[in-house]
Chains A and B, each alone.
Chain A
Amino acid sequence: MADDSLHLIRGTLDLLVLRCLTHGTRHGYAVSRWIDEATGGTLLVEEGSLYPALHRVERKGWVEAEWGRTDTGRRARFYSLTDAGEEHLEAATRQWREYSRAIERALSAGGEVAS
């Protein structure tokens, strides 16, 4: 299964984390479930890899974290998007789209070159 999965580029995971948090404050497990569902289980090969990413985006000031309680009363660390995070997400999404379009075009292009 791991062999079939896409290898994650570090920046992509950061992007997904931020995207997820646009829907509101979440704890780490909820973020991992969202990514799992949104990508059809192809991206998060090891769920543990999410946590360095969460702390990294926190260090960069894109998200804020706080310890709180879940509905069941369990202690968990909750993450929410900051204004800086929102701005970064916007820019990064645009970049990603341009990038993936370019790759897509290249992959579906023929062999001839215009002279």
Chain B
Amino acid sequence: MRSWKRIFRNPFRGGEPWSSVEEELDFHVEQKVEDLVASGWDRGEALDEAKRRLGDRRHWARRTAEESHRRRRTQARRERLDAVVDDLRTSVRHLRRRPLSGLTAVAVLTGGLAISVPVLTLLDHVLLRPAPFPEPDRVVWLTVTTDEGRMAGWMFQASGGAYLDWKGRQDVFEVMAATQWSNLPIGDERPRRVRVLRVEPEFFDVVGIRPVLGRAIRTDGADGPREVVLSHELWTSRFGADPEILGRTVGVDGSSWEVVGVMPAGFRFWDMYGGETTPALLLSNPFVGWGGDPDLYTPAGGLQPVARLASGVDRQTAEERLEAMLASLAEERPEVYEEGIAGAPVLLRAVPYLDLVREPIRQSLVFIGAATVFLLVVIVANVAGIFTAAVGDRMRELTLRSAIGASRRRIVGQVLLENGLLVVASAVVGGAVARVVLPLLKTRIPGSVPRLQDAGFDLRVLFAVALVVALVWIVSSLPALRQATRLDLRGVLAGGGHSSTGRGGLRWLLGAQIAVTTALLATAGVLVENQRRIAAVDPGFEPRNLQVIRLRASEERYAEPVEAQGESSPGGADFAAEIGAVRIDVAFTDLVDRVLAELRTVPGVEAATFVNNPPLRGTAIWSTGLVGAEAGDGFIQKWTGPAYAEVVGLHLLRGRWIGSQDVRGADPVVVVNQSFVDRHLEEGVDPVGHVVTFRQGVNGGGLDTSATIVGVVDDVLQDPLEPGAPVLYQPLEQRVTVWPQTQESFAREASFVVRADAGADEGALREAVWSVDPTIPIDAHTDLSTALAGHLTQQRFFLILMAGFGVATLLMAAGGTGALVARRVQRARREIGVRRALGATGRGAGLEVLRDVVLVGAAGALLGVAASFWVDGVLAAYVAGFSSEPMAVRFLTTATVLAVAFATAARPARAATRVDPMEVLRTE
């Protein structure tokens, strides 16, 4: 019963305010009674009257106690605030008295934040932000693959027939849509090619995004109106953001399309071959061309299906159910599903959209992220050292304060506040610097990194930074707090006012600091050296003043069906019919000659030549393989003319280049690059004079050609991330003229390379092409020296970043080491003084300090180097082509760390030589 009463009792009763209120009311009643009695009342009646006049006593007592309680709370708050202000003043006074240690801490923290905050911001935007779709983790991208045979792990697109079959049978997706990417020309005169995504109407439900203007595409299949949704970017740049755009028509690839909507700005979608891309146009009906034909039921085709998982279905369940679906399909169509991919069974993978986007950049981001974390560790280690040293200096004062009654909480608060002031100051300065650094970093990264250019400071980043700063503040204050709460009055009074942490503790701190710094710096050095090697690759040509105009000759004019000409192909009439062969020869070669002639008349152009696939174009077009070789072990096939080697500046290693005699009908010749020789020819065979037989076309539907190698040239950089691609050059006039339909668009690709001074501008070059045929859509114009620099930007960005990390670490280590050694000397003052009084020299004391630094430093450095080897092992597993060979770099960085530590120790060591024995003994 009692305990119940205790629980339900009035919260104010029994406490101090309550008893005091009761006493006050008692006094009131007593005085009233006295007054009434004095005016003639009977005492008993007077008591009743006094109580009546007071009113409901319980009520008023309660109300009074509440007021009183509120007053106390206000007062306590005010006192706490006063204490904080008081502590703040004390802290500022202390910081002003020892500006060097405060400034070092601020400099270390500011430097660290100025580098790590922008990097973390970029990481956050690129890696951690989900795709801009609602519930992005439910969006998957379907790819056909196999895990057996020689094409194990290859990814293929789906054929129209197979896709529609799956769509009708599946039960794991809420909604599913086929997409097909292509480059299509827009405009009828002087057309330009843009990235186009053809979609089914369900696409908008899969991504969960609707047009901001107008509506989504409704046309399903080939029948129905041609509908187009514009990208926000195209709508703005080409149509001036015209609000009346809906209902108008746009000419795409020779036919008109009705504009039904405009997508939101920044909309991007995944392209298997191009990464995340903004489609300039979304068109209705993906079931077009060879790749999308609904009647084509093959394992691989030209559609990229995407889907939204049904709610409650995870990716693994989805793949299991798809597998079961394929198993039942395999009974109906064993030729497709059981041995469809080079004899191996077909698998269907549902790749989460987010994985697709993150995978290509994961490696470099993981690196930078790890380096940042490392950097933060170094910051914390150094700042903790400085903070501990600062508390050490004030042990006497703190102990005395504690002795005259300051609570442990108050002292902890004081230390935290003082450190907090420094941390906040650094965060403000560091944040301001970071705002400047971020845009600089962005300009150093090529624009291909998805979402990067959107990265900026926002609430999320600020919150994360605040969290990091708070973490740094607390963690680096911990050793100082440990020291500050172990105050020992007697010890301090006897020992001159310094902390009880022994010299051993300082040695550990110093050793750890040097170890971490060495590990980070050595790793940074090895990484820099690795990247430098990649960046230093010889491009194999002379990029200066080289410009490339890339186009694809239109199908109607430059490709004719073979049957229509009533002739058989080299592979026989049956074969031609089977592959739906087209002829690409005279008209195309004629176009090339006429365009070259026009380009040579453009002012400023010194020379012009043709190639289908220019340098730096990438290695995606691995078209051809040697007959009898393994699939996938192919090479890049280039068609070109006699002038190419000279215009581009190839280095001829052996034999000769293609000559004017290598025309149609003459003996077939080819020139190969060094990587081709290394990869495809047996060792010891003289490549010049060797005959190679290769197949034009990937999917087996090609034609065999034999040709004699007449020369070997040096490699030309095709893709900086994949150097050493084998290349075979063939005279354009000698290439086969009949193409399978799957390859004909590839055969119509043409690049014109001109060497021109600054006078020849892009517009004039485009006009020269259009003067030959105004309907030719131009894909791109590239300045090769700019492109090469662009390819190297990523490397350069990485170099700058790692070098920045290195310098920041070194600066921090310098600050931290200096503070620790100074602290060590100060603590040893008494000992040094006594020893000097007994006859030791000042020089000896200084040398002893340095010897300590060297010994501890060497131990730390050894540990650091060992750690850096371990880190290299981890990196090697992540980074293709990573080499931990550069030992010299490791040695150099370690020596630098030690030199810096030694240099910063010099000043405090000199202070040790100047300790005056008399003064030390006097203060004892």
The judgment on whether A and B are partners is yes
Identify the A interface with B (CB < 8 A): 27-29, 32-33, 45-49, 51-52, 54-56, 58-59, 74-77
Q: Are A48 and B68 in contact (CB under 8 A)?
A: no
26 contacts between A and B (CB under 8 A): A28-B24, A29-B32, A46-B53, A46-B55, A46-B56, A47-B32, A47-B54, A47-B55, A48-B25, A48-B55, A48-B56, A48-B60, A51-B21, A51-B25, A51-B28, A51-B61, A51-B63, A52-B63, A52-B64, A52-B66, A52-B67, A56-B67, A58-B71, A59-B74, A74-B30, A77-B20
Given pairs A47-B55, A55-B67, 18 additional interface contacts (CB within 8 A): A29-B28, A29-B32, A33-B35, A45-B55, A46-B54, A46-B56, A48-B25, A48-B57, A48-B59, A48-B60, A48-B61, A51-B25, A52-B64, A56-B67, A58-B67, A59-B70, A59-B71, A74-B30
Q: How far is the CA of A58 from the CA of B72 in the complex (A)?
A: 10
Residue among A28, A48, A51, A74 facing the most chain B CB atoms (10 A cut-off): A48
Q: In the complex, which residues of chain B have a beta carbon less than 8 angstroms from the beta carbon of A52?
A: 60, 63-64, 66-67
Interface of A, helix, strand, loop or mixed by DSSP: helix
Q: In the complex, which residues of chain B have a beta carbon less than 8 angstroms from the beta carbon of A59?
A: 67-68, 70-71, 74
Q: In the complex, which residues of chain A have a beta carbon less than 8 angstroms from the beta carbon of B28?
A: 28-29, 32, 47, 51
Q: Are B67 and A28 in contact (CB under 8 A)?
A: no
Given contacts A52-B63, A55-B67, contact A77 B56 (CB under 8 A): no
Q: In whole Å, how far is A75's beta carbon from the nearest beta carbon of chain B?
A: 7
Q: In the complex, which residues of chain A have a beta carbon less than 8 angstroms from the beta carbon of B71?
A: 55, 58-59
Binary contact track B30-70/A, C-beta < 8 Å → 1, others 0: 11100100000000000000000111110111011011101
Q: How far is the CA of A75 from the CA of B54 in the complex (A)?
A: 19
Given contacts A45-B55, A48-B60, A49-B60, contact A76 B67 (CB under 8 A): no
Closest 9 CB pairs of A and B: A46-B55, A48-B60, A55-B67, A59-B71, A52-B63, A51-B64, A29-B31, A48-B55, A48-B54
Q: In the complex, which residues of chain B have a beta carbon less than 8 angstroms from the beta carbon of A33?
A: 35
Q: How far is the CA of A77 from the CA of B55 in the complex (A)?
A: 20
Q: In whole Å, how far is B254's beta carbon from the nearest beta carbon of chain A?
A: 82
Q: In whole Å, how far is B47's beta carbon from the nearest beta carbon of chain A?
A: 14
Q: Are B60 and A28 in contact (CB under 8 A)?
A: no
Taking a contact as CB atoms closer than 8 A, the residue among A46, A49, A56, A77 that contacts B24 in the complex is A77
Taking a contact as CB atoms closer than 8 A, the residue among B32, B35, B53, B60 that contacts A51 in the complex is B60
Q: Are A49 and B55 in contact (CB under 8 A)?
A: yes
Please report the total number of B residues contacting A with Cβ < 8 Å: 27
Identify the B interface with A (CB < 8 A): 20-21, 23-25, 27-28, 30-32, 35, 53-57, 59-61, 63-64, 66-68, 70-71, 74
Q: In whole Å, how far is A65's beta carbon from the nearest beta carbon of chain B?
A: 9
Q: How far is the CA of A69 from the CA of B840 in the complex (A)?
A: 73
Q: How far is the CA of A58 from the CA of B67 in the complex (A)?
A: 9
Q: Are B27 and A27 in contact (CB under 8 A)?
A: yes
Residue among B56, B63, B70 facing the most chain A CB atoms (10 A cut-off): B63
Q: In the complex, which residues of chain A have a beta carbon less than 8 angstroms from the beta carbon of B32?
A: 29, 47
Q: Are A75 and B23 in contact (CB under 8 A)?
A: yes
Q: In the complex, which residues of chain A have a beta carbon less than 8 angstroms from the beta carbon of B56?
A: 46, 48
Q: How far is the CA of A47 from the CA of B74 in the complex (A)?
A: 27
Q: In whole Å, how far is A23's beta carbon from the nearest beta carbon of chain B?
A: 18
Q: In the complex, which residues of chain A have a beta carbon less than 8 angstroms from the beta carbon of B66?
A: 52
Q: In the complex, which residues of chain A have a beta carbon less than 8 angstroms from the beta carbon of B57?
A: 48
Q: In the complex, which residues of chain B have a beta carbon less than 8 angstroms from the beta carbon of A51?
A: 21, 24-25, 28, 60-61, 63-64
Q: How far is the CA of A54 from the CA of B63 in the complex (A)?
A: 11
Closest residue of chain A to B53 (Cβ to Cβ) is A47
Q: In whole Å, how far is B37's beta carbon from the nearest beta carbon of chain A?
A: 14
Q: How far is the CA of A76 from the CA of B68 in the complex (A)?
A: 16
Closest residue of chain B to A74 (Cβ to Cβ) is B27
Q: In the complex, which residues of chain B have a beta carbon less than 8 angstroms from the beta carbon of A55?
A: 64, 67-68, 71
Q: In the complex, which residues of chain A have a beta carbon less than 8 angstroms from the beta carbon of B53?
A: 46-47
Q: In whole Å, how far is B50's beta carbon from the nearest beta carbon of chain A?
A: 9
Q: How far is the CA of A27 from the CA of B27 in the complex (A)?
A: 10
Q: In whole Å, how far is A59's beta carbon from the nearest beta carbon of chain B?
A: 4
Closest residue of chain A to B27 (Cβ to Cβ) is A76
Closest residue of chain A to B23 (Cβ to Cβ) is A75
Residue among B31, B53, B63 facing the most chain A CB atoms (10 A cut-off): B31
Q: How far is the CA of A75 from the CA of B21 in the complex (A)?
A: 13
Q: In whole Å, how far is A42's beta carbon from the nearest beta carbon of chain B?
A: 14
Q: How far is the CA of A29 from the CA of B70 in the complex (A)?
A: 23
Closest residue of chain B to A58 (Cβ to Cβ) is B71
Q: In the complex, which residues of chain B have a beta carbon less than 8 angstroms from the beta carbon of A56?
A: 67
Closest residue of chain A to B30 (Cβ to Cβ) is A74
Q: In the complex, which residues of chain A have a beta carbon less than 8 angstroms from the beta carbon of B67?
A: 52, 55-56, 58-59
Q: How far is the CA of A27 from the CA of B682 in the complex (A)?
A: 114
Q: How far is the CA of A51 from the CA of B66 in the complex (A)?
A: 11
Closest residue of chain A to B21 (Cβ to Cβ) is A51
Residue among B21, B27, B56, B57 facing the most chain A CB atoms (10 A cut-off): B27
Closest residue of chain B to A2 (Cβ to Cβ) is B55
